[in-house]
Amino acid sequence: MDTVTHSEASGGGRPLAAWFEAARQRRLKGIHTPWDFRSSAKRALPRMVFDYIDGGAGSEIAIRMNREAIDSVRLVPSAPRDVSFCDTSVTLFGQELSLPVIIGPTGLASASWPRGEIALAEAAARTGIPYVMPNAASVSPEDVARAGEGRAWFQLYPPPDRELTRKWVARIRDCGFSALEVTIDVAVPGQRLRDAYNGFVMPFRWTPGKFLDVAARPVWAMKMLYHGQPTPYLQVERDGSRATASNQSENRRHRFTRALSWDLLKILRDEWHGPLLVKGLLDPRQAGQALAAGYDGIVISNHGGRQLDGSVSPIEMLPEFRSEVGGRIPLLIDGGFRSGVDVVKAVALGASAVQLGRVGVFALATAGRAGVEHALTLFRAEIETAMALCGVTRLEQLDEHSVRHNWGGPRP
């Protein structure tokens, strides 16, 4: 395990760095699965920050259904096979990934760990996978691109101002991001009730209850005091927006446009000449539109259950997207994936890779970059084990014969 890096404890002396490293080692010792990081993060973070990461829209039915849909897929073991070596790599947009896994965009990761986006990008680069920098990051795109070492992607919420969109695209192109992921499922922010009840908004608007919440997590409080409160780096501000917003969803409402259409997405295709993905599709009938607009990939997503409560789960829709696309472009997916076994299920159903959301931030909150690297090591071990027990040595050998499920609805 590496020692504390500049991105994790910049400016700290050697005794402080050694203390943080020892604390991280203790926390990681009891982590045996990627989802173990959730409990660890809950102990490390103030409630309002943990709830922002963990929560979803409305009564959070979509979050529960995402998980139930994945659990309902069952793998078919196949033996005897010679599985002396299992290759977990996949090629995506001409670049080899060591795992069929991508660290997806999660806003305000720096509320979990100082300069958290840098730590995520570094961990991804060291593992040999991409990291998608979110539009709501708290550090500069230039810093993330450098940390990503050629593997960093950028997530874009097209803002209402199309000229600003062009400026952002030009900037991230100049930074050296290797792919652009356009998120289209936030015409309006979902109703995130945990944030409303907690009054969670960045920068923090302090109340006595929030002071008590933070005081119960002194290590987190000291890190934030030293590094400062995270604030979205790229913003579209409106006069008085911070003064009137009561929670994070309301604070972000003016930054999205309801006038999002395939015409605007085609403009982005003209502006961006690298791999271009559209994130947030759930209706397979839209796959043809993505192809016609010149997009290179689709991320099937319900925003982790954070937008439309009661929406269908992404993995339920994956076979229909596979039928519509017919292998012409890669399909990525997110929404409730917690383990390497979950990843193998998605690959068998037609995904090229899985984007991780909450689990990556929970690992970050637990131990910074070292936590994320440990989580990815656990994912690798679980993927290799699942592949071996399914009797495959390469990911492309997984297919519909490797799984069984009992979902309702149309079949491709």
Mean per-residue pLDDT over the chain, rounded: 89
Q: Model confidence over 94-109: pLDDT tens digits?
A: 999 999 999 999 988 9
Question: Does the structure show a pLDDT above 90 at 18?
Answer: no
Q: For 345-401, how does the pLDDT look when each residue is reduced to its tens digit (9 = 90+)?
A: 999 999 999 999 999 999 999 999 999 999 999 999 999 999 999 999 999 999 999
Q: Which residues are annotated as catalytic?
A: 303
Of residues 231 and 49, the one with the higher pLDDT is 49
For the entire predicted model, the pTM comes to 0.89
* DSSP E strand boundaries for 5-97: 74-75, 90-92, 95-97
Give the pLDDT band (50/70/90) at residue 409. low
Determine phi and psi for 202, rounding to 5 degrees. -115, 135
What is d(CA 5, CA 225) in angstroms, rounded to the nearest whole number? 19
The predicted model gives 285-310 an average pLDDT of 96
Please indicate whether residue 347 or residue 206 has the higher confidence score (pLDDT): 347
* Per-residue buried b or exposed e for 190-224, using 16+ beta carbons within 10 Å of the residue's own CB: bbbbbbeebbbbbebeeeeebeebbeebeebeebb
Q: Is the dihedral of CA 113, 117, 121, 122 positive or negative?
A: negative
Asked whether 381 and 32 are in contact (CB, 8 A), the reply is no
- CA 278 to CA 166: how far, in whole Å? 17
pLDDT at position 238 over 60: no
The pLDDT of 262-274, averaged and rounded, is 91
Q: Would you say residue 3 has pLDDT above 80?
A: no
Confidence of residue 154 (pLDDT cuts 50, 70, 90): very high
Question: pLDDT value at position 23?
Answer: 72
Strands 90-92 and 353-356: unpaired
Cβ of 259: how many Cβ atoms within 10 Å? 11
Angle between helix 47-54 and helix 36-44 axes, rounded to 10 deg: 150
